[in-house]
Amino acid sequence: MNLSPPDSVHSSTTNKPGRPSRAGKPQEAEPAPAPGVASITHLANKLAEYLTPAELKRVKEAYRFSDEMHLGQVRKSGEPYISHPIAVAEICADWKLDAQAIMAALLHDVIEDQDVKKEELLERFGPQVANLVDGLSKLEKIEFQSVVEAQAENFRKMLLAMASDVRVILIKLADRLHNMRTLGVMVPAKKRRIAGETMEVYVPIAHRLGLNDIYRELQDLSFSHLYPLRYKTLAKAIKAARGNRREVVKKILDAVKNTLAAAGIQAEVYGREKTLFGIYKKMRNKHLSFSQVLDVYGFRVVVDSIPNCYVALGTLHGLYKPMPGKFKDYIAIRKINGYQSLHTSLIGPYGTPVEFQIRTQEMHRTAESGVAAHWLYKTGDQNMSDLQQRTHAWLQSLLDIQQQTGDSAEFLEHVKVDLFPDSVYVFTPKSKIIALPRGATPLDFAYSIHTGIGDHTVAVKINNEPALLRTELHNGDIVEIETDPNSRPSPTWLSFVRTGKARSAIRHYLRTINLNESVELGRELLAAALGQLGVSGEIPAGTIERLLAESSAKSMEELYADIGIGKRMPALVARHIVGLQGGDVDSMPAQPSHGGELDPVTIYGSEGVSVQLAPCCLPIPGDQIIGQLRRDQGLVVHTADCSQAKRLRLKEPDRWIAVQWGGELNRRFDCRIRLLINNEKGILARVAAEIGESDANITYVGMDEDDEHMMTQLRFTIQVKDRVHLAHLIRNLRRVAGVNRVERERS
């Protein structure tokens, strides 16, 4: 059955009044139909294979409406713009997406380009189609501070729509794939921008959803536009090498087919050439020339059952010698995107390394189409596959991150972290497999199980051995988390957690749980900044109203809290207030430099999370100190001579303010000291006793031995009252027999 009206629609190549040409949209680079003609024959034939007549009728209505809305809109090739939605719908039809998804593909640009309201789509095509199109559309004309912010907000909207219905991202990937295929006529700068965005966001999403065909094609297309000369050179080298290697490939294929048949295994065997980008990445990462990349070709063996996968593996290992350390079992432990196969590398004829992938037909369908091979959005189905459940859990995690994230750029930052394809697979004590990004820590593991577990983590065991929370996890590790209901997240965790979920949860805690503390610090910082500009007393109500309206804060408490956690700079807010009150802002300095202009903030050392003492230098009362306003971490206090602080001040001088110690400090402070001692009996006990007699507490002891010089270096973290107390302790330690040198350890 074909769609009516007739197979071709003729559109004027002039612009319809009020509907501007999309000259900026990518144009067909391949040979196109005659200008002014868009064919729907191919799409109609695909849809007729699996849609009912009633569904085809609804698709026809969407097609007519889209053609009417895009009438007069043309691409640079002269084709009517409707050819693009048709092409996107054809890609979706290859995945056999349902009628609603095909309708949304045909309509995906009408809100963005033609000012069609969502309400009109709702009335004509129903809520699901309207929601899909709305999720695919960019935001309406909202003023953003930058292109980056606008782009981040568009991605946020798209990914959140995807969390409720995965068809949104499937259609969006089809849209991006067609645009990348037709990017030829764009100016080089725009090609690079679109290709870079595709490589950074859409390629990882396609990989994360297991859409390997699109993943590989988008990679190669992006590569061709980002590095056109490298792409052409490599393509030419592969074309030249293809003829030389054809004989080797045929010999391997024949040998494998005959060996498997002799073993009684029915299998499809075929060779596959690695993608250009895959070869380029291997050359770059391993510093190889093209001639050194021997495994340009791989082979795929598709059998009828999982047991036969392993039988085929043994048969191949009998045919060619396996390379040590090059076997991976992704059937027993599948990849995070649901991919399953056995991977092995063998030494083929003439000593050439040959890679084989062995899988079943079902695994092959999932490997090529990922979630598009399933109906993930039917979440009510109790028979969801493992892939569906994994993907559904990841989509739900997007909602968790959104709820805990302050702005769109931060949301996109967290999501990008989770999109990196490299993963490690670790086990819970009950042998459940948890997949995490490469470089993940036990804290990432804890937050992946539940936010509450992450928030209350105090210790960890890896393979039954105590380990640090910042330890990098490796494949096969067994991770056991210890929690304490009284424990809370530390701002220092942000420096080493890897997953977006962990980062957003920690930042959410720091923003909300310590709100009162952040508000008070922000109030003090803003008052000091206003004082430097000659403004004192209460801010007038009218000024507050205008300030909140222009800063998008809901209340002054929220504004103070943003300043207290380093999200807003007090000097810039103060300048804004002066400007609202009619002051001459242009004659004022743009921002304080090197912490020298604001009145010092008084530190008592017990403020908690909004004010923290830097772990690199561990300042104690009596030290000269300086403060850094760090985004989402508040005020971090360093010693004035801290080497790390000096480096950071060069990068962001505007984030540093003057601080000073308060008068009454009724607590003890951590400090590090280092001793060089003789290797002799009882000396450690004498040192520890002297520290105790000097009224100091020991919280950590480390030791490095130098057998050649018969010396030992001891490192202590101790708790002292202030700099005077520390000096007294160091004098006492220097008098201990066998101690050669004592000094405070700096950053």
Active site members? 112-113
Q: CA 305, CA 364: separation in Å to the nearest integer? A: 12
Sorted by sequence, the CB contacts under 8 Å of residue 447 that are 6+ apart come out as: 453, 454, 497, 499, 501, 502, 505
Whether a cis peptide bond, with omega within 30° of 0, leads into 307 is no
Place of tokens 């080497």: 643
Q: CA 451, CA 444: separation in Å to the nearest integer? A: 10
Q: CA 4, CA 44: separation in Å to the nearest integer? A: 9
Instruction: Report the side by side order of strands in the sheet with 479-483.
Output: 465-467, 457-462, 479-483
Provide the token pair at 68: 């009417």
Q: How many Cα atoms are found within 13 Å in the side-chain-facing hemisphere of 700?
A: 9
Kindly state the DSSP code that residue 721 receives in the 8-state scheme.
S
Instruction: State the chain's maximal CA–CA distance in angstroms.
Output: 101
692, 734 contact by CB (below 8 A): no
Residues linked to residue 8 through DSSP beta bridges, in sequence order: 39
437, 498 contact by CB (below 8 A): yes
Q: Write out the E strands in 311-352.
A: 321-322, 328-329, 342-347
Q: CA 151, CA 149: separation in Å to the nearest integer? A: 5
80, 9 contact by CB (below 8 A): yes
Sorted by sequence, the CB contacts under 8 Å of residue 641 that are 6+ apart come out as: 624, 746
Residues linked to residue 720 through DSSP beta bridges, in sequence order: 669
Provide the token pair at 526: 């803003």
287, 343 contact by CB (below 8 A): no
Instruction: Report the side by side order of strands in the sheet with 739-744.
Output: 697-706, 711-720, 669-678, 739-744
Q: CA 268, CA 228: separation in Å to the nearest integer? A: 36
Q: CA 313, CA 360: separation in Å to the nearest integer? A: 13
3-class state of residue 326 by DSSP: coil
Q: CA 420, CA 436: separation in Å to the nearest integer? A: 10
Residues linked to residue 657 through DSSP beta bridges, in sequence order: 627
Q: Which amino acid is at 385?
A: S
φ/ψ of 436, rounded to 5, equals -135, 160
Q: Which amino acid is at 62?
A: A
* Antiparallel, parallel or unpaired: β 8-10 and 37-39: antiparallel
**How many residues belong to the chain?**
747
Q: CA 112, CA 497: separation in Å to the nearest integer? A: 38
Provide the token pair at 262: 């002799």
Q: CA 147, CA 152: separation in Å to the nearest integer? A: 8
Query: Closest Cα partner for 306 from 341, 276, 280?
Result: 341
DSSP string, 109-134: THHHHH---HHHHHHHH-HHHHHHHH
Q: Which amino acid is at 609?
A: V
Q: Which amino acid is at 139?
A: L
